[in-house]
Homo-oligomer: A and B are copies of this chain.
Amino acid sequence: MNNFTYSIPTKIHFGKGQIAHLSELRESGEKVLLVYGGGSIKKAGIYDTAMKILKDAGLCVSELSGVEPNPRIESVVKGVGICKEENIDMVLAIGGGSVIDCGKVIAAGACSEEDPWELVLHPEKITAALPIYSVLTLAATGSEMDKFAVISDLKKNEKWGTASEHMKPKMSIMDPEYTYSVSKKQTAAGTADMISHIFENYFTNVSNADVQARFAEGLLKNCFYYGPVALEHPDDYDARANLMWTSSMAINGILSDGAEVAWCVHPMEHELSAFYDITHGEGLAILTPHWMEFALNEATAKKFADYGRNVWNLPMAEDDMETARKAINCTKEFFKDMGLPSTLREVGIDETYFDVMAEKAAAGCKGSYVELTKEDIVHIYENAL
C-alpha cells in the first residue's frame, strides 16, 4: 500500500426528501448561482422545490441553464462572468455529473484571473473556489463527492479532466428518487461509467492495497446486481439508492487512496467524446472489454482472475488465465445485457481519427496498469470497431 492523504470533506445528505437541507447554503452567504441543464429538473419538479427552499432560507438566486451533456468551456465562461458581475457567494449545481463539473470549474474560475480553459489544462492554477453545492439527479460520474471536472472545447476537439481539492463540493444532496425518471439509455451508461471508475482504480500495480481492492469488488457486485434491476424497474428505490451511493464511492478517493494508478480507458474514451460527442458511458462500455483483452497476459492473469472469483463467483480452483478470460466475457455480456453498444460503428465512429485520438489518449494514460503506446491504443480502437 502506498502512503496517502485521505480527505473527503463533502457532507452528503442521502435519501428521500433530503433536498430540505438546501437551507444549509445560508452558511456560505446570500447569493447563489444555480447551474443546471436542459430543463429536466423543471419537469421533475426539483427546480420549483429547490427555489422555494432557497428563497425561504433568504438566499438570492441567479441562474445559468442549458449546460450540455459534455459540458463546454463556453458555459463555464458564461458562469464565471455571472459570478464576477453579481458577486456570487456560492455555486449550486442541480443535475448529473456534467452540470456539477461545469459548476465546479465556474466556482474555481470565479476566484481566478486566469482564462477558465487554463484551469482545465493546468489544474495547479486552481488556487481557490467558491463553495460548491450539488443536488444529484443521475448516478454516474461521482462528481458530487470528488475533486474532478471534465470540460470540452468541441471547437478544438478537446476534452480534458481537471482536478483540485478546492473543487470538492461542500455538501451534496443525493435523493435516489430523483433518478427514477432517468432513461434506460442513461441508466445503462451511468452504470458503465461507475463500473469503469471502479475498474480503473482496481487494476493498479500497487500491491496489497486490499482494503481498496475488496471495496472495489463489493462495488462492482452492486453494479452488476442492481444495474439490471434499475433498467427493469426504474422506480426500485433500493436499486437506485445502491447505484447512486456506489457511483460516489467509486471515485471519491476511497478506492484510489494508497493504490494510485493512472487511468487508461477514460483517456481513450475522452477522445471519442471530444471528436464525436458520444455518450461517455457508452464509449466506456465499448472500449472496456477490448482494453481488458489487451491488458490480459501472464503477469496480469492473477488480478483478472481475482476479479472473476471475487466478483463473479467463478470457481476458486480453476486456472488463472482461464478464469481471467471468463471474467472478461462476463463483463462483455453484462454490458450487452444492459443494452449498451458494443462496437464503435454502432455509435457512428469509424477509423478516420484513430491516429490523432490515440496520440492524445496515450499522453493521458502514462503510468496506467499496463503501459499503452499510441499503437496499442489504435489496436484497441480497431478491435472495438
Contact = CB atoms under 8 A, between A and B. Distances in A.
Interface of A: 1-9, 11-18, 207-211, 213-215, 217-219, 221-222, 225-226, 237-238, 241-242, 245-246, 249, 254, 257-258, 313, 316
Contacts of A8: 8
A214 B2 CA distance: 23
Contacts of A218: 211, 213-215, 217-218
A222 B210 contact: yes
Contact of A222 (B3, B4, B214, B249): B214
Given A214-B218, A222-B214, A258-B245, A14 B4 contact: yes
Contacts of A16: 3
B208 A219 contact: no
5 tightest A-B contacts by CB?
A214-B218, A3-B15, A208-B238, A6-B12, A1-B241
B222 A211 contact: yes
Contact of A11 (B7, B210, B258): B7
A14 B3 contact: yes
Contact of A4 (B15, B210, B213, B215): B15
Given A208-B242, A219-B211, A5 B1 contact: no
A91 B213 CA distance: 34
A291 to B, nearest CB: 24
A244 to B, nearest CB: 9
B5 A11 contact: yes
9 contacts: A1-B241, A3-B15, A3-B16, A6-B11, A8-B8, A210-B225, A211-B218, A211-B222, A213-B218
Contact of A226 (B2, B210, B213, B238): B210
Given A214-B219, A222-B210, A257 B1 contact: no
A164 B96 CA distance: 33
A235 to B, nearest CB: 14
A199 to B, nearest CB: 16
A226 B209 CA distance: 12
